[in-house]
Structure 1
Amino acid sequence: MTRALIIGGGVGGPVAAAALKRAGLEPVVYEAHPGPGEGLGAFLTLAPNGLAALRTVSMLERVRASASFPTTRVEFVNGSGRRLGLLGGEEHLPEELRSVTINRAALQRAVADSAADQGVGVEYGKRLARYTESDSGVVAEFTDGSTAEGAVLLGADGIHSTVRRALAPDGPHPSYTGLLGIGGYSPVPDTPPTPEATMRMVFGRRAFFGYQSAPSGETYWFANLGHSELTREEIAARDDAEWQEHALGLFRDDPPEITRIMRECAPSAFRPLGIYDLASLPHWYRGRAALLGDAAHAVSPASGQGASLAAEDALVLARCLRDINDVPEALAAYEWERRDRVERIVAEGRKRGARKAGSANPAALLVRDMTLRVVFGLTARFGSQGWIHDHRVDFEARATSPEGSPR
C-alpha cells in the first residue's frame, strides 16, 4: 500500500488523509503542535462547496455539530448604516450544505477526530525540518530527530509552509494585503441582534467591521484595519490597550453598536495579525512532494473560502493519486485541475479586501458606496458568485492527466 506523509494537521491535512484512505493509500498526518486547534480563537465561515467536500469524506455531521450557527446571508451597510446590499440565496440547497460559522479550533478538532475515527494515524509534536527524496520514495526529517518514509509527501502546513520553502526555495513569498485583522467574542445584551443567520458587514469610513449575533448571546466580530505592513516585533511594541484605542478611533464615526461591541471585549482581542495571500506559485509540486490549501494558494479571509478550498484540494489530490500510478504525474494532474479555480478565487478575495480600508476623502467613500450597490445588486440578481459556492468535486470520477487523457 502507498504511504502518504501529510505535513500539517490543521484543516486540509486531516481531510486529505481521510480522502487518501478512501483512495486506498496509507496516510499519516504529522502536526507540529501538541494537539488539534490548541489556542486558536478565530472563527471562519464554511461555504457550501467546502461542506460538500467534507460530506464526501464523512466529516460533515461532526463539523456541523461543532459549528456555532448558520450564516446563510450577508448584509452590507456603509458607515452611516445604509444598506448597500444583501446576498444569500442558499434556500435551494439541502440544509446540511448551507453555510455555517465555526470556531477554527472547533473545526480542527472535528476534522482531526473524524480522521482518527476513520483509522488515520495522526502524530503530534512533529515539526518538519527537511525532506529528501529518491526515485522510489521520500523521507521526512523532524526536529526531534525522528524520520518517516513514504511514497509521497504533502504539505498542508499553512501560509508559512516549511514544505513550500523546501519545494520552491526561490518562489514568491506571501503578499501583504494592506490590512490588519482583529476579532473576538463580546457579550453585548443591549445591542440589537443581527437578523437570523445573517452576518452584517460594515464598510466604515476608515475601516471594515463584520459581526453576527450568536444564539448564546455573544456577538462574534472581526475588523480589518488598513495599515502599512508591520513585523511581529513592531506589532508587539504596542500594548493591547494601545491597539484597542487605535481600533476604536477608526470606528468613532460609524454606527455606535460597533464601538459598543468592541468595548465589551478584552484588550487582547485587539492585537492584530497581518493579512496575507499567495496568488500564484510557479508550481505546486516537485517530484514526490506537493502542496495543498494555504501552503499552495493562501486566500484573503475576504473570500470566505480558505478552509473550503483546502477541502476541495484534498479530494482532487486523493483522486489523482488513486487513478494515476506515477506519483509525479498524479501531482501534476492535481495542480492542472485546481490551479485556475483557486487563483481566480485568490484574485477575487484580494479585490474584495481592497475595498475595506476606507478613506479620508468623502468623495472616494461616495464612489465606493455607489460602486458596491451596483456590484451587490448585480450579484444578487444574476448569482454571479455561484461559480464559487456551487462547485462540487466528483470524487468517483476518474482522474485525468494534464494532457487530457484518462490514465
Structure 2
Amino acid sequence: MTKAMIIGGGIAGTVTAMALHKAGIDAVVHEAYPPDATDAGAFLVVAANGLEALRTIDAHGPVLEHSFPAEHADFISNTGKRLGRKPIAGSAEGGLGARTIKRATLARVLRDEAVRRGVRIEHGKRLLAAHTGPDGRIVGSFADGGRAVGDVLIGADGIHSLIRRAIDAGAPRPRYTGQTTVCGYARDVASPPDRDAYTMIFGKQAFFGCTTAPDGEVWWFCNAPAEELSKAELAAITAEQWRERLLALFAEDGTPAADIVRATGDSIVATGAYDLLSTPTWSEEGMVIVGDAAHACAPNAAQGASMAIEDGVVLAKCLRDLGGPRSAFAAYEALRRQRVERVATTSAGMVRRNAPGPVGRALRDATLPRRLDRAQGGGGPDWLTGYRIDWDEPVDGAPARGRR
C-alpha cells in the first residue's frame, strides 16, 4: 500500500487521513470546497466514544480545547414538569465525556491538525468520476480538469456520496426523516440552562434542546416536523421567519423554549434531517466508503460525527494490518456494519418518540422518570458510548475484533 485518495475533507475524511498517516500510509484529501466554506451556524456533540476514537490517534486535544462539556441532561415535559436527570455517558472521572462544538470549528481544528502532521489537503477538487485503471489503481477525475491516482479511493463525501453510487449504482438514497433541525444562539436569556447540562424539552409539537456555553450564550436546537425543502429553500428562510415558526410550535407549552427562541437574534440556521439505515455494498475493487457515505443517523442520537470518527480509525487499522484492499475492506465492514446500523436504527426510533400523541406523551411522562432513575445508577459503559478501539491490537479479519 503506498497511497490513498480520500474524497471529502470533512470530519470523516480528515480523521481517516490522520489515522492512515499514523498507520504509515500516505493519504491525500481532495475537498470540493474552499477552506472557509463550512456550515458556520450548526453545532454538534462529539460523544465519549468519538473522543476516545480520536484519542487512539492522539487527535483529541484540539477538539477538547475548542469545545465545552456537559455532565448530565435534564428532561422536561411540554407542561414544564421535570421528568428527571440522566448522566451523560463518559463524563465520570477519567473519561472524556461528551463535548459541544460548532461543526465549522470541528472541521477546522481537525484539518489544522492533519496539516500539522503532514497530511496534504487539496481544496477546490470536486470529483466527477472514478474508475479502476488497467494497472488496478484507482483514477479520479476532477471538475478543474485534474486527475489523481491511488492504490485505494476512500469516499468520505457525505450522505449524497458520489462514491457510494460509483460502487453500486443501485445503492439506496438517503431518506428524509420528516424533520428539520434548527440551531440558534441566544444571549440575555432570563433563566439559562446550567453550564454543565443540557436541558431536553419534549414539546407538544417539537423537541427542543439547549445548553449554556462558557461565555453565557445559550446554544439551542429544535427537531421540528416539516416538509422536505432543498438547501436553497432552507437558506431563503429568514431568522425572523424561523422565530415565528418555532414560537408557534411552542406557544402552548409551559417550557423555556419559546423564551429562548424569542431571545435569539439572526444567528439561526436550519438543515433537513436525513438518514441512511443500511447500504448493501460498502466497497468494490479499490474503493470504499466511510461515515455518512456508508451510513447516516438522524441527529436525535447525536452520534453522526462520532460514527464517522470511529470509521476512519478502524479502516486505517484494517489497511495497516491486512494484505490488500479487498481483505482490508471486508474486515472493516465486518467490524463496523452491525454497530452503525444499530445506531442509525436507534436514532430513527428516537425521531418517532419525540413528539407522540396525547396517549404517547402520558405514557412517556409516566415511565421516563423511572428509566432515568435507573440510569443514575450507572452500571458500566453502554454499547453505544462505551465502544473503544485498541490501536495496537492487530486486525485479523475476525468481526469480533475492536467491538464492545
* TM-score > 0.5, shorter chain as reference: yes
> How far does residue 192 in structure 1 lie from its aligned partner after superposition?
1.8
> How far does residue 345 in structure 1 lie from its aligned partner after superposition?
0.8
| Counterpart selection for 2:359 from 354, 363, 384 | 363
CA gap 1:197/1:237 in 2 versus in 1, 3 angstroms: closer
CA contact (8 A) 1:29 1:121 kept: yes
Q: Deviations over 1:57-85 (max 9, x none)?
A: 22111111111x21221111111222223
> How far does residue 276 in structure 1 lie from its aligned partner after superposition?
0.7
1:5-404 matches, within 5 Å, as 5-35=5-35, 38-67=38-67, 69-88=68-87, 90-94=90-94, 97-134=96-133, 136-189=136-189, 191-232=190-231, 235=234, 240-267=239-266, 269=268, 272-359=270-357, 362-381=358-377, 383=379, 386-401=382-397
Distance 1:39 1:279 in 2: 24
Distance 1:36 1:93 in 2: 36
Distance 2:315 2:123 in 1: 23
Distance 1:331 1:64 in 2: 31
- Give the alignment's TM-score, normalised by structure 1: 0.92
Q: Deviations over 1:284-310 (max 9, x none)?
A: 111111111111111111111111111
> How far does residue 247 in structure 1 lie from its aligned partner after superposition?
1.2
Distance 2:248 2:159 in 1: 31
2:397 counterpart letter in structure 1: S
CA gap 1:345/1:56 in 2 versus in 1, 3 angstroms: same
CA gap 1:187/1:92 in 2 versus in 1, 3 angstroms: closer
1:74 counterpart letter in structure 2: A
Moved more, 145-154 or 295-304: 295-304
Distance 2:389 2:37 in 1: 26
CA contact (8 A) 1:206 1:357 kept: yes
> How far does residue 369 in structure 1 lie from its aligned partner after superposition?
2.0
CA RMSD, aligned part only?
2.2
Distance 2:230 2:18 in 1: 37
Query: Structure 2: which 5+ runs fail to align?
Result: none
Is the partner of 2:222 in helix, strand or coil? Answer: strand
Q: Deviations over 1:195-224 (max 9, x none)?
A: 231011000111110001112121000001
Query: Structure 1: which 5+ runs fail to align?
Result: none
> How far does residue 312 in structure 1 lie from its aligned partner after superposition?
0.9
CA contact (8 A) 2:76 2:84 kept: yes
> How far does residue 91 in structure 1 lie from its aligned partner after superposition?
4.7
Moved more, 252-261 or 339-348: 252-261
CA contact (8 A) 1:244 1:267 kept: no
> How far does residue 372 in structure 1 lie from its aligned partner after superposition?
3.1
Distance 1:238 1:309 in 2: 31
Is the partner of 1:38 in helix, strand or coil? Answer: coil
Identity %: 40
Distance 1:401 1:364 in 2: 44
CA gap 1:379/1:174 in 2 versus in 1, 3 angstroms: farther
Distance 1:206 1:35 in 2: 38
Distance 2:62 2:270 in 1: 31
- Give the alignment's TM-score, normalised by structure 2: 0.92
Is the partner of 1:220 in helix, strand or coil? Answer: strand
1:50 counterpart letter in structure 2: G
CA contact (8 A) 1:186 1:219 kept: yes
CA contact (8 A) 2:206 2:223 kept: yes
CA contact (8 A) 2:153 2:288 kept: yes
> How far does residue 318 in structure 1 lie from its aligned partner after superposition?
0.5
Number of matched pairs: 399
